[in-house]
Amino acid sequence: MTINDIAALAGVSISTVSKIINGKDNGIKPETRERVLGIVKEYRYKPYNFIKNNINTKTFLLGLLLSGNKKYASFQYGFLTEAEKQGYQVQLCFSSSVQSREKNIAALCNNRVDAVVCESAGEDRDAALAVLKKNNIPFVFLDDEDPRFGLAYNYQNAGYTAASKLVAAGHMRISCLFDKSEKHEREIALGVERCLFDNHGIYTEYKDLYEALYIHGCSALVCCGRNKVLDVYEYALLHKFRIPEDISLICIDDKESIGSFPPVSAIPLNLFDFGRYICKYIIRKLEKQKSPLPPYSEDFICTDTESIDLPVRLRSKRIIVIGSIHTDILLSVKEYPQTGETIPADSLSVLPGGKGINQAVGAAKLGAKVSLIGNVGRDFDGNMLLNVLHENGVDTSAVNIDPENPTGKAYIHVQEDGESGIVLYSGANLSVSADTVYQTEKIFSDAAFCLLQTEIPMGAVKAAIEIARKHNVKIMLKPSAVKKIDEELLSNLDYFIPNKKELHQLCPCGDSIEEKAAWFLNKGVKTVIVTLGSEGCYVIGRNFEQRLAAAPFNPVDTTGAADAFISALAVYLVKELPLSQALAYASCAAGFSTTRAGVVPSLIDTTTLEYYMHKMNPK
């Protein structure tokens, strides 16, 4: 096959063929160029040596320079397949260092390749660019962040899709298992993190699986590659937990590498098609084809749900908390100020607070599925409190933003002995109404307990009791900041939990704690629990009576101990523990909460609570 034959087949002059082969075709019509190049490639025409020596002469040879990473196996096969289809040959090189990259680029230039496709060179990209530009060789860098030089596969979207699948299943604490030295795996992790940010979830990086699962409490893992899936299965076998019952997994890898055993839900990556796309892209660029390729896109779809399940906490019944949400301003003082007296404060702290937020976070930290109903203001404090709730896994779909009233505040004076007194400004909490509660009725459908306090208007409390009864949801009521309580409500309460002062204030008869608690029992309350601070608690029911000592902790701040007690009691009753055992857990949780200032920071998590329970009851 000679240049004359090519000209005859294409119906053009020999001069036209020569110009196209030698890259001097600016004045030639695109359709003529495409026709000539098609014939040249079809017949594998090779120009004579004197033409080859022209730096603009086409060799129909492409350079593909990769790191040798396993993930590029499908990519390079796709690239080679498309090159063969379009009449090009490929010189494939692998580089494991900057030096070998430089040598390979020099070799490709010496072989007069028409173009180079190169894995992103990172810090030494500029040196590679200089050599390729000097030799007038077109290039594409893979996965390069600069669109002027490269095309990137959208690994971030793959990570986002995987995390979205887990979030849809109820997971809000997710970790990504990835190799920080691999750029594409870092991109996947960024996608996971972005998804959790958009959905108010919690993304955690980890040192090892123990930290991810037991310290950060992750309920799902995104694994970058099949090998990491195998690592998790091996760890699960060793530590006796189940997939997906105890931990959910989703794998992101090339679709040719995922495999079928062990079973795993996966987001397969079509790197073969991406390789074909890159080859088409560079050839169109070389041949100056008129119609550009559309941007590469891929729909990432989860193959199945074999290794995805609901988080353990979501398989249990919901705990609904309806109550106050405000900011606590803690002042450490030697003793309460007397009338007309000004005293110094030793320290000041601003923390999330309110019985609603305290009980909701307390239950969530113990692994419960929790929804909070309440109001915050449209202000900085409101945003801060919503962030705290999101970070602790509390459902805030029923927390409303009051556009007219500011977020509530509590000014707490903490004495040296840990006892505290509170001045409460209700703010937006006073706008929680019966309608506020009625609008959230749907979340009562899968609830086991409704935790109520009286720091919100009584109309909302009555509406909550009405709806809870309608859905067979048990009710715990903590009376607070109230001087009397409607006796008609008492017969609807499963648990009534006043402290000693509240008991004496709300009960019109009797002298002793036992007599006053019995009065509430006679009014229809099923179980009365009187919290007694350092003296523990007194409990009485229809066929049950017990005094429980306080857990042995040295108090720093007793604020919110009752909230810690109530939230833990509800969680362990949902777990169907007998009341006596649930009370022991609740007492320990309350004691632990007094060991540091502020309520939310001092609320205990499941692992710590189990540790102290075992320590106090080693048998």
Q: Are 109 and 137 in contact (CB under 8 A)?
A: yes
Write down the pTM of the prediction. Answer: 0.57
Q: What does the mean pLDDT of the chain come to? A: 86
**CATH 3.40.50.2300 residue spans of the chain:** 61-152, 155-273
* pLDDT exceeds 70 at position 54: no
Closest CA to 119 of 95, 136, 137, 138: 95
Residue 400 burial (C-beta neighbours within 10 Å; 0-12, 13-18, 19+): middle
The least confident of 90-94, 272-276, 475-479 is: 90-94
Per mean pLDDT, which of 126-135, 245-254, 256-265 is the most reliable?
245-254
* pLDDT exceeds 80 at position 58: no
Pairing of strands 495-496, 150-151: unpaired
- Give 281-337 pLDDT, tens digit per residue: 998 888 877 777 888 999 999 988 889 988 776 677 899 999 999 998 888 888 878
Closest CA to 608 of 579, 578, 588: 588
In 3-state terms the chain splits into helix, strand, coil percentages (rounded to 5) of 40, 20, 35
- Give 443-461 pLDDT, tens digit per residue: 998 899 999 999 899 999 9
Closest CA to 248 of 175, 308, 205: 308
Q: Write the CATH number of the domain with boundaries 317-616.
A: 3.40.1190.20
β-pair partners for 520:
none
Give 52's pLDDT tier (boundaries 50, 70, 90): very low
* pLDDT exceeds 90 at position 339: no
Question: For position 49, what pLDDT does the model report?
Answer: 46
Q: Tell me the C-alpha distance between 200 and 194, whole Å.
A: 10
* pLDDT exceeds 90 at position 258: no
Fold that domain 155-273 belongs to in CATH: Rossmann fold (3.40.50)
Alpha helices in 137-204 (DSSP H): 155-168, 183-198
Is pLDDT larger for residue 168 or for residue 69? 168
Give 467's pLDDT tier (boundaries 50, 70, 90): very high
Question: For position 319, what pLDDT does the model report?
Answer: 95
**CATH 3.40.1190.20 residue spans of the chain:** 317-616
Closest CA to 117 of 87, 92, 148, 96: 92
Is pLDDT larger for residue 619 or for residue 336? 336
Q: Which two tokens stand for residue 84?
A: 């063969």
- Phi, psi angles (nearest 5°) of residue 384: -60, -45
Angle between helix 72-85 and helix 271-286 axes, rounded to 10 deg: 40
Alpha helices in 14-146 (DSSP H): 14-21, 30-42, 49-52, 72-85, 98-110, 125-134
* pLDDT exceeds 70 at position 559: yes
Burial call 60-79: b when 16+ CB within 10 Å, e when fewer: bbbbbbbbeeebbbbbbebb
Q: Write the CATH number of the domain with boundaries 61-152.
A: 3.40.50.2300
Q: What percent of the chain has pLDDT over 70?
A: 93
Question: For position 47, what pLDDT does the model report?
Answer: 61
Q: Write the CATH number of the domain with boundaries 3-52.
A: 1.10.260.40
- Give 563-614 pLDDT, tens digit per residue: 999 999 999 999 889 999 999 999 999 999 999 877 888 999 988 999 998 8
- Give 191-233 pLDDT, tens digit per residue: 999 999 998 888 877 777 877 777 777 889 999 999 999 999 9
**Residue 48 Cα to chain centre, angstroms:** 62
* Order of all β-strands in the sheet with 248-254: 202-204, 173-177, 220-224, 248-254, 265-269
Q: Which two tokens stand for residue 57?
A: 């002469």
Single-letter residue type at 48: Y
The H or E element spanning position 523 is none
Q: What is the DSSP letter of 431?
A: G
DSSP string, 30-47: HHHHHHHHHHHHHTT---
Burial call 171-199: b when 16+ CB within 10 Å, e when fewer: bbbbbbbbeeebbbbbbbbbbbbbbbeeb
Q: Tell me the C-alpha distance between 174 and 172, whole Å.
A: 6
- Give 491-518 pLDDT, tens digit per residue: 999 999 999 999 988 887 888 999 999 9
Closest CA to 277 of 151, 403, 192, 373: 151
Question: For position 48, what pLDDT does the model report?
Answer: 52
**CATH 1.10.260.40 residue spans of the chain:** 3-52
